[in-house]
Amino acid sequence: MEGWLLRVGIPRALLYYYYFPLWNVFFEELGAEVVVSEQTNKQLVDEGIKISVPEICVPIKIYNGHILDLVKKSVDFFFIPRMESIKRGEFFCPKFMGLPDMIRYSIPGVKDKILEPGIKCATEKITDFRNYMNMADPLGVTETQIRKALKKAERVWLHFRSLCKAGFMIPDAMDVALGQKSKAEIELPRWPGDVNIGVMGYVYDVYDGFVGMDILNRLTKIGVSFRTFEMLNERVLGKQLKGLRKILFWTFSNKLLEAGYYFYREKVFDGIIHVTAFGCGPDSLLGKVMELESERYGKPFMTIRVDEHTGESHLQTRVEAFVDLIRRKKISHGGAGI
């Protein structure tokens, strides 16, 4: 390995938005060069669609597009973790669990270059070194090195999470955690404001430029304050699902469900926008639960479902209409006393 850096490709998709700081530091500590795919763009999505099964959800099609982008960047390894479980008794969507299998047999040229740690932890701090041991041989590193790298990665990731909870949006929190920007450079979105909206959605939907279409900045621009699930404190979230007969068994979907109930219950929130991608299985059930609860709590709930054909003006119009509706409602209820 001397004098020659291994290039590890990390697709800018799915849990990149949640775990990139951790993985980035981990690989750099091990002496590898981290190559991240481009921002999601139309061409990348189109290429992803071509090699995907037509029915599969948009985030996976996008993921495939990112893998193809990394193929072009001729990396030595593709980092495709098999996300199994980060909470006892809970799993990930089947597509996350079968992701390396799916990629291996459907995208030419990656077969023998996949790094696939099986992530199976008791907490979402996924730094149990045993999960990563199957990468020791391909990377040519030892257990001690892996442990050490993970320790450092963990620190950075925890810092990243605390920034999220302090109200930083994920791209900003990543920059700060990885030392590319200082905290002072970033202007925190206002919270709370006169209209406050809970945005429900997976990180790879909300923060992906193609699926989320920059919805958070759009909200800021029309003077709306927002919260997303990763900005909320786990302690508060953890209480939300008590008393439910049965909760979902996908960790991130449960986080959304918790956040959803929190948005419904806390007075400060005026409404909920659910951003989801076409074909998302867990969201098809989650959305229904939220829709039924909307009536009970008397708060407006809107779903924005994005697929590969959706235009930006559609999103803009609907968001504006939703916000107008909330503003009008507030005025008719004697507005001033918010």
Partner 1 sequence: MKVSFPYMGTTVIYKKLLELLGHEVITPPKPSQKTIDLGVKYSPEFACFPLKVIMGSYIEALESGAEVLVTSGGHGPCRAGFYAEIHRRVLENLGYKFDIIVFDELNWGFMNFYRGFKKLKGKNSIFKVIDSIKLVYRMIHQLDAHEKKVERLRAYEVHPGECTRAWDRIKEIYDGVYSEAELEKANKAANEILDSIKVRPVDERQRLRVGIVGEIYVVMEPSINMKIEEVLGNLGVEVERSQYLSEWVDFHMVPHRFSKPHELEILKKGERFIKIIIGGHAKQTVGYIVDFKERGFDGIVHLMPFACLPELVSQSIMPEISKQLDIPVITLSLDEQTGIANSLTRIEAFVDLIKNKKAKQTA
Interface residues toward partner 1, by CB under 8 A: 52-53, 55-57, 82, 84, 89-95, 97-98, 100-102, 105-106, 118, 245-246, 248-250, 279-285, 287-289, 292
**Residue 88 C-beta: closest distance to partner 1, Å:** 12
Of 2 and 112, nearer to partner 1 (C-beta) is 112
Of 21 and 59, nearer to partner 1 (C-beta) is 59
**Residue 285 C-beta: closest distance to partner 1, Å:** 5
Question: Does residue 88 sit in helix, strand or coil?
Answer: coil
Burial level of 337, CB count in 10 A (0-12/13-18/19+)? exposed
| Contacts with 273 (C-beta within 8 Å, 6 or more apart), sequence order | 197, 198, 199, 200, 215, 302, 303, 304, 319, 322
Q: What is the DSSP letter of 183?
A: G
| Residue 102: C-alpha distances to residues 97, 105, 261 (Å) | 10, 6, 34
Pairing of strands 301-306, 225-228: unpaired
**Residue 83 C-beta: closest distance to partner 1, Å:** 10
Of 99 and 174, nearer to partner 1 (C-beta) is 99
**Residue 336 C-beta: closest distance to partner 1, Å:** 36
**Residue 275 C-beta: closest distance to partner 1, Å:** 14
Of 298 and 334, nearer to partner 1 (C-beta) is 298
Of 121 and 186, nearer to partner 1 (C-beta) is 121
Cβ proximity of 68 and 103 under 8 Å? no
272, 247, 246: which is closest to 259 by C-alpha?
A: 272
> Where are the extended beta strands (E) located within 163-292?
196-200, 225-228, 271-277
**Residue 101 C-beta: closest distance to partner 1, Å:** 5
**What distance in Å separates the CA atoms of residue 283 and residue 276, rounded to the nearest whole number?**
7
Which residue bears the tokens 């030392």?
Answer: 179
Cβ proximity of 1 and 171 under 8 Å? no
**Residue 286 C-beta: closest distance to partner 1, Å:** 9
Of 175 and 283, nearer to partner 1 (C-beta) is 283
Of 101 and 185, nearer to partner 1 (C-beta) is 101
